[in-house]
A and B are shown apart, each in its own frame.
Chain A
């Protein structure tokens, strides 16, 4: 409860600070309403498509074993944690006017494809979020105890029975909230939507907030727009919560899952298609980033390494902070108060610009904003990563509470002992995934640091933007590659540490 209150205070408090500081401005005009409509629809489309495509991929990954599967599952985290500008340039190198795809089409004498437009926005968002959706849904499969599959095999379940008894309830458990999280991410998209959207048609609420700040310095309108964003996400979260099932699949013996339902040519073909398709779609733009970056690594000035160190420290600090927020909230949400997860979702919907400015207004009278740049960045990054962490943690924590709660209670295992002996070992793998995601997200986040950083203290993404702003595009690509490697390295370490021996 306390953790949830702190998070809510941070998000709503900063919003209030901005609103109170505002001079009388104008309300929402037609262009803002158009932005709200566009934002809403592109987020709905992106979230739906990401999740719809993720289901076959997750199902394929859950019932197939092949060399490199581990690596692929880890690699699925990569697009999501890339800084926006790196990912967009990577995406354009494949789908852009002079991208690989169009080169091939030209060579074949076929008409070119045009990425810019609403479909481009959705494509980019699917690129960012398909992997996350896949991981979230895959986790759902992994929470089905192996005994259930054994039983299903003994009862000779066909695809239809499999769907009715195992898959449909499983998806009902994970899909609504995965949709809500991705909807929230896409809602606060700005640079991606604008760049790939091809012009002011693709104006999002976040851009309108940005405009209110810098073009008009109208803090009131910025706060108002931020409220709209929070309201949309709040509604989505509420709907998701009502729709999602909370039934557990019951407890098993934590045995390694073996699947008997993987045979049959159609299924093999379907799964191969899903896995290969997703891999190519995700790997191609990433390899363009790596390729571009390799030439720039040698040209990187020394400050880049210093910034990388700073970013590492901030990332680890925000991971710790995230755990401090997420575990208590997940335990509360896993119990009776499932609404509490909604608080966490606010983090991703809140505009970084509003949070940053609000914090600045609050902090400036009491302390030097530069002095607190890093703690503030770590804190805000932790809060921004919270919705993902919660989405990952709440389900498994709920299972542990439902399945072991009575037993632990009757054995009088409570408090610290319960946490260490019962909960943590059982959620180890998801905990690793959550930590990895937070660390990597924090690593790649530009967010509030830009408002607080002074020249000597920049994070790696900020340093990368500065290099780009000074024509040093090669060096910036190098820094982008370094960022990719570090984010991914952190993600891999935590994820692997969490998985341990377990075959997930």
Chain B
């Protein structure tokens, strides 16, 4: 009896709460329309930090939109998608910015994202025809080392060498997953053997990029899995030319970062305007020296000085987003097998 009473009491409480939230939401919405419209963009943490692209992008967009652009940071790319899934259609977000091609299929499955009509001539070496997601930058995974180190130029030679590398765990980190896909696309069925060759070179596997890069800087490994653009940070921000990336003959796996508009947005036109702004020069020229990635569309003024020194791979590798999940699960099983022995 008591159980039923508590249940119904909870129901009443929940209903009241729902109503209150709804009323508050309505009030906020009405007020927002009456005042400056607010465009809410969910993104990953490092995008919004003071040294990331967020502040400059916000200033540039607010100059033209007559709106208030609000960035909300939610962990990293995977955490961002989890957040959107948890919030569902009730989310405050109008735009989600910072998913990558490994996540877009899962994001599409949620049916929360709307179609876009943006067209641009992208700088990355593959065609782009995704109905829901618009690229805003891209990067190329690579091993970063000290410039004076002579490094092997493919995975098999690396496996045969006695160089020590530190990598990230694909289960908890985006670059870690990138490496998994890289080896899998380059070697297919042979990839397990490649991992077995690499296993005695791997000093350790870290939870995220930061730990791995920190360990590399502290001298715990000869090379770390990062991006071809990492040396640009040291060169431009620290005026330190002592780091470079290794060009692998198999080609390099790419990461394309995208944004999408949510169906539940109450700022439809403004969201479209933001997506169009996102592929314009004003946004794209901010990316290289704040996000340390390549802009999705090369700005008219070209890339900042220093980027011309970076390694450019002969071939860019990428798994189509609808095949990611199947390949990922198989590759993970191989990876676990090869490294757990």
Contacts and interface: CB of A to CB of B under 8 A. Distances in A.
Interface of A: 21, 31, 34, 85, 88-89, 92-93, 96-98, 116, 190-191, 194-201, 207, 210-211, 213-215, 217, 301, 303, 357, 360-361, 364-366, 370, 450-451, 453-455, 465-466, 468-473, 476
B220 A365 contact: no
A367 B283 CA distance: 33
A185 B156 CA distance: 40
A38 to B, nearest CB: 10
A455 B211 contact: no
Contact of B172 (A85, A210, A472): A210
B210 A465 contact: yes
A466 B204 contact: no
B248 to A, nearest CB: 22
A470 B218 contact: no
A455 B164 contact: no
- Provide the main secondary structure of the chain A interface: helix
A88 B205 CA distance: 13
B132 interface: no
Contact of A196 (B50, B169, B204): B204
Contacts of A472: 51
Interface string B221-244: 100000000100110010000000
Nearest to B292: A471
A357 B86 contact: yes
B51 to A, nearest CB: 5
B204 A195 contact: yes
Contacts of B218: 89, 92-93, 96, 98
A92 B86 contact: no
Given A198-B205, A214-B172, A471 B233 contact: yes
Q: What 5 A-B pairs come out closest when comparing CB atoms? A: A455-B48, A468-B210, A98-B219, A214-B78, A211-B171
Interface of B: 17-18, 21, 45-46, 48-52, 54, 71-75, 78-79, 81-82, 85-87, 90, 106, 164, 169-172, 199, 202-211, 213-215, 217-221, 230, 233-234, 237, 292, 335-336, 339-340
Contacts of B203: 97, 116, 198
Contacts of B87: 364
A303 B49 CA distance: 9
Which residue among B46, B49, B72 has the maximum number of chain A CB atoms within 10 Å of its CB?
A: B49
Given A85-B211, A470-B46, 11 more contacts: A92-B220, A97-B164, A195-B215, A199-B339, A200-B336, A211-B171, A370-B72, A455-B73, A466-B49, A469-B46, A470-B49
A190 B210 contact: no
A450 B220 CA distance: 28
A195 B214 CA distance: 12
B207 A190 contact: yes
A217 B210 contact: no
A454 B336 contact: no
25 contacts: A34-B340, A85-B214, A88-B211, A89-B215, A96-B219, A116-B204, A194-B169, A195-B204, A195-B206, A207-B171, A210-B172, A364-B86, A364-B87, A450-B45, A453-B73, A454-B73, A455-B45, A455-B72, A468-B214, A469-B46, A469-B209, A471-B237, A472-B51, A473-B213, A476-B214
Contacts of B206: 191, 194-195
Nearest to A213: B82
A194 B71 contact: no
Contacts of B74: 451
B213 A97 contact: no
A85 B210 contact: yes
A79 to B, nearest CB: 18
A66 B339 CA distance: 49
A194 B215 CA distance: 13
A469 B210 contact: yes
Which residue among B79, B81, B164, B171 has the maximum number of chain A CB atoms within 10 Å of its CB?
A: B171
Nearest to B168: A194
A191 B210 CA distance: 12
A360 B86 contact: yes
A365 B21 contact: yes
B32 to A, nearest CB: 14
A119 to B, nearest CB: 13
B171 A473 contact: no
A365 B292 CA distance: 37
A215 B86 contact: no
Contacts of A199: 199, 202, 204-205, 339-340
B85 A31 contact: no
Contacts of B78: 214-215
Contacts of B207: 190-191, 194-195, 207, 210
Contact of B51 (A116, A301, A453): A301
B339 to A, nearest CB: 5
B85 A217 contact: yes
